[in-house]
Amino acid sequence: MTFQFVLPPPPTTDVKPRMSDADLIQRSASTVTPPAKRLTEVAKLIDVSKCIGCKACQAACLEWNDLHEEIGVNTGVYDNPPDLTPASLTVMRFTEWVNPETKNLEWLIRKDGCMHCSDPGCLKACPAPGAIVQYSNGIVDFVHENCIGCGYCVRGCPFNIPRISQVDHKAYKCTLCSDRVAVGQGPACAKACPTQAIVFGTKEEMKKHADTRIADLKSRGYKNAGLYDPPGVNGTHVMYVLHHADQPQLYHGLPKNPTISPVVELWKGLVKYAGLGAIGAVAVFGALHHLVKGGNRVPHEDEEKAKQLAEGERV
């Protein structure tokens, strides 16, 4: 295969970042003016069939982001740490699966982490202005100085990705190395991957590359090989090549058709507007009733009646 994605070496001179607030297409709890000129959409393609489970991506992620995972315990499987954490923004998920057709044991290894949805549920759920942003190249990023630690992004996410730190009470997830991408580099995990199971480029390039990979897998008997770019969230900027694309759940519960939960849509949609309407209607009714009727006053006769009653008369 001649098509290779070799990421450029780090620059040796100062490079002006190519991503800024001017490139935002969505900003949580606020509106942005869409940029006139959009950046080219980027994507990370993870070819599960090429992954050897070495965890170089995990190590590179910790190193680049200067994060430090706590020493954990062996839970009996290769997953380490056993789940995403505020420090481990990516985790290898190992699944042992016996293919009922071939009776072969297949070791399905999926690199879990933020999918950078085109329709990000985290951003939709976030109440803090500017805590979650989406750049026109597709990267969804958390801006920690604006994050209030409410955990609404956890409810919004269809992939169960964000984690709230119990230390600083901020939400953490993969940034797609937005700081590296801004200066023309690829994500640290892609740079570290020894088998090029993780590649990075424009979304168009990645889809084309995925097609060659899928054709190769099909020629080797994986008739259901395919690309995971779920339309329920308008596609993602982290995509998988799966040998069993018809059953993504096999890969440690990768959702088959992820969408933002209808409960979240209701909470952030209808309830918000109906609530405003209900509160407004009650307030307006009260004010109008008070204005039109005037106060409900006790007439003098009633004070007299009360006195007569207190004096023991039958009233």
Partner 1 sequence: MTVSQANPDKRDPAAAHHPAGVGPQGPVHETDSQAEPLVVDRYTVLARVNHWITAISFVLLVLSGLALFYPALYFLTGLFGGGENARAIHPWLGIILVIVFFGLFLRFWRYNLWERNDSVWLSRIRDVLGARDDDLPELGKYNAGQKIVFWSMAVLLLVSLVTGLVIWDQYFYQYTSIDQKRLAVLAHAIAAIVMICVWIMHVHGAAWVRGTVRGMTRGNVTGGWAWRYHRRWLRDLVAGKDEEHHTGATPAE
Q: Which of 11, 17, 231, 275 is in the footprint of partner 1 by CB under 8 A?
A: 275
| Short-list 145, 153, 168, 160, CA closest to 28 | 153
Binding segment (CB under 8 A) for partner 1, from list 48-56, 70-78, 106-114, 272-280: 272-280
Distance in Å, CB of 112 to partner 1, minimum: 15
Burial of 273 (0-12, 13-18, 19+ CB in 10 A): exposed
Assigned token pair, 68: 């430090």
Q: According to the binding rule CB under 8 A, does residue 85 interact with partner 1?
A: no
Q: According to the binding rule CB under 8 A, does residue 100 interact with partner 1?
A: no
- Provide the terminal-to-terminal Cα distance of the chain, rounded to the nearest Å: 104
> Angle at the Cα of 139 (from 159 to 165), degrees rounded to 5?
55
Residues 6+ apart with CB under 8 A from 253: none
CA-to-CA distance for 132 and 298, rounded, in angstroms?
A: 56
* Pair type for strands 198-202 and 42-47: antiparallel
Per-residue binding letters, 163-182, with partner 1 (x by CB under 8 A): -x-x--x-------------
CB 89 within 8 A of CB 174: yes
| Short-list 90, 94, 98, CA closest to 78 | 94
* Pair type for strands 163-164 and 140-142: unpaired
Binding segment (CB under 8 A) for partner 1, from list 90-98, 182-190, 209-217, 257-265: 257-265
Binding segment (CB under 8 A) for partner 1, from list 75-83, 111-119, 243-251, 289-297: 289-297
Residue with smaller CB distance to partner 1, 2 or 166? 166
Q: How far is CA 44 from the centre of its chain?
A: 15
Q: Which of 17, 127, 184, 221 is in the footprint of partner 1 by CB under 8 A?
A: 127
Q: According to the binding rule CB under 8 A, does residue 272 interact with partner 1?
A: yes
Q: Which of 67, 97, 155, 222 is in the footprint of partner 1 by CB under 8 A?
A: 155
Residue with smaller CB distance to partner 1, 120 or 186? 120
Binding segment (CB under 8 A) for partner 1, from list 177-185, 195-203, 209-217, 273-281: 273-281
Q: Which of 52, 148, 194, 195 is in the footprint of partner 1 by CB under 8 A?
A: 148
Using CB under 8 A, which residues numbered 30 to 49 contact partner 1?
30
CA-to-CA distance for 80 and 95, rounded, in angstroms?
A: 13
Residue with smaller CB distance to partner 1, 98 or 263? 263
Q: According to the binding rule CB under 8 A, does residue 295 interact with partner 1?
A: yes
DSSP 236: B
**Which residues here bind partner 1, judged by CB under 8 A?**
29-30, 127-129, 146, 148-152, 154-155, 160, 164, 166, 169, 261, 263-264, 266-267, 271-272, 274-276, 278-279, 282-283, 286, 289-290, 293, 295-300, 302-307, 309-312
